[in-house]
């Protein structure tokens, strides 16, 4: 009898654990760290900046290093663990994975030859598209995870996440110049302020509709999707705070970078951990644990930023060394240094789509 009771309790516990796990992309702890934790860090950094009186200044180095160098730049190189370090994946679609950087560099040089601002504006809008689509991607993954297939639910979810990202961007474009920019000053073109005013009630309606549907599902059907709710809520909160509520480079940096880069790093490491057993030896070594994984990315990020700083920006000689005189080579150098970003932006639209990646799994 005791053995039967023990077996029943174990079965019930296993079933409960399995049901709980199915609510999340990775696990309750990892999902909360990636999405809720990253947003909490962003808002905490915003509060610290206000307390220290640097909220209306450019991002200081003690923010730039962990947020931009170690998260934003590093997460770009995480794509290598999904593609270029994985020989099996690289062999699966060699034309795509080789043609994207080659074509990207050629297009980059062509754009830069028309003027630096022309190049940076094109890259900025590609980056914006990438950032918006990533937030939608998380929502889509959570819908798949919980097998949410209703058409109206998809429309409401899409309406909410796109409104949460697009309205702040339209507000930004309608209130130029701002004290911050995506890459360089004037890399966005202005639009009439009426665009933002018209979109404001749409933005509010989308978020209220999403909240109402989530409450209805909870109260009437006892159904929840906490991960999706966290993504939509934190996206709306951080994008509004960083772009609309504050006119500050510091505020934009801390609210923009963390909620974008940290979940992506978690996703790639989780995937790399699952791939490690069947991968080549070098991949198994680099993906053995989070420390070596991050150190690899941080090293590549530092090398890239060293070339940027010494060859182009000349801002942080204390960290990267003295400037190089490469002015005559910028037409070739700038598109080359931007190539990892461009490749990341382009490939991200292919490598996580389940229908085109039969081997992609998070379990």
Q: Decide if 34 contacts 262 (C-beta within 8 A).
A: yes
Give the model's pLDDT for residue 3: 43
Give the model's pLDDT for residue 237: 98
Q: Decide if 326 contacts 234 (C-beta within 8 A).
A: no
- Nearest partner of 68 among 50, 88, 45, judged by Cα: 45
| Distance from the first to the final alpha carbon of the chain | 35
- Nearest partner of 123 among 348, 299, 340, judged by Cα: 340
> Which residue is it, tokens 């209220």?
208
Residue 156 lies in a domain: yes
Residue 346 lies in a domain: yes
Residue 26 lies in a domain: no
Q: Which helix (H) or strand (E) holds 10?
A: helix 2-21
Give the model's pLDDT for residue 358: 75
Question: Per the structure block, which two tokens stand in for 124?
Answer: 């900025």
Residues in the chain: 363
Q: Decide if 255 contacts 43 (C-beta within 8 A).
A: yes
Residue 6 lies in a domain: no
pTM: 0.92
Residue 362 lies in a domain: no
- When divided into structural domains, the chain yields a total of 1
Residue 158 lies in a domain: yes
Residue 11 lies in a domain: no
Mean pLDDT, 10 residues at a time, over the chain (363 residues)? 40 45 89 97 96 89 96 97 93 95 97 94 97 96 94 97 98 96 94 97 98 96 96 98 96 96 97 89 90 96 97 95 93 97 94 80 74
Residue 17 lies in a domain: no
Q: Decide if 246 contacts 47 (C-beta within 8 A).
A: no
Question: Per the structure block, which two tokens stand in for 162?
Answer: 């796109």
Give the model's pLDDT for residue 243: 97
Give the model's pLDDT for residue 276: 87
DSSP string covering 70-93, please?
IIIIHHHHTHHHHTTT-HHHHHHS
C-alpha distance from residue 79 to each of 40, 74, 290 (Å): 25, 10, 15
Give the model's pLDDT for residue 21: 56
Instruction: Return phi, psi of residue 183, to 5°.
Output: -115, -55
> What is the extent of the structural domain holding 160?
32-356
As a whole number of angstroms, the distance between CA 149 and CA 153 comes to 8
């Amino acid at each position: 009898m005791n053995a039967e009771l023990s077996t029943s309790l174990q079965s019930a516990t296993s079933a409960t654990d399995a049901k709980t796990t199915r609510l999340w992309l990775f696990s309750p702890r990892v999902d909360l760290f990636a999405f809720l934790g990253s947003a909490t860090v962003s808002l905490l950094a915003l509060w610290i900046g206000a307390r220290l009186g640097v909220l209306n200044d450019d991002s200081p180095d003690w923010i730039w290093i962990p947020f931009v160098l170690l998260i934003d730049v590093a997460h770009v190189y995480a794509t290598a663990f999904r593609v270029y370090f994985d020989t099996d994946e690289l062999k699966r679609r060699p034309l795509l994975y080789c043609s994207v950087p080659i074509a990207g560099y050629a297009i980059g040089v062509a754009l830069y030859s028309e003027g630096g601002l022309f190049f940076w504006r094109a890259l900025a809008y590609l980056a914006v598209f990438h950032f918006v689509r990533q937030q939608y991607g998380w929502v889509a993954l959570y819908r798949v995870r919980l097998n949410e297939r209703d058409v109206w639910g998809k429309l409401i979810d899409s309406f909410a996440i796109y409104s949460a990202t697009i309205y702040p961007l339209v507000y930004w474009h309608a209130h130029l110049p701002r004290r911050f920019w995506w890459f360089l000053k004037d890399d966005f073109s202005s639009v009439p302020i009426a665009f933002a005013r018209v979109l404001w009630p749409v933005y509010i309606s989308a978020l209220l509709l999403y909240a109402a549907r989530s409450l209805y599902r909870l109260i009437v059907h006892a159904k929840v999707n906490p991960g999706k709710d966290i993504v939509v809520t934190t996206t709306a909160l951080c994008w509004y705070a960083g772009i609309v509520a504050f006119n500050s480079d510091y505020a934009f940096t801390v609210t923009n970078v963390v909620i974008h880069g940290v979940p992506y790093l978690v996703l790639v490491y989780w995937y790399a951990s699952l791939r490690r057993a069947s991968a080549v030896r070098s991949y198994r070594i680099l993906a053995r644990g989070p420390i070596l994984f991050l150190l690899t990315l941080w090293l590549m990020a530092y090398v890239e930023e060293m070339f940027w700083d010494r060859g182009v920006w000349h801002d942080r000689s204390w960290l990267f060394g003295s400037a190089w005189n490469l002015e005559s080579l910028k037409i070739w150098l700038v598109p080359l240094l931007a190539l990892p970003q461009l490749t990341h932006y382009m490939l991200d639209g292919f490598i996580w789509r389940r229908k085109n990646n039969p081997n992609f799994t998070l379990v």
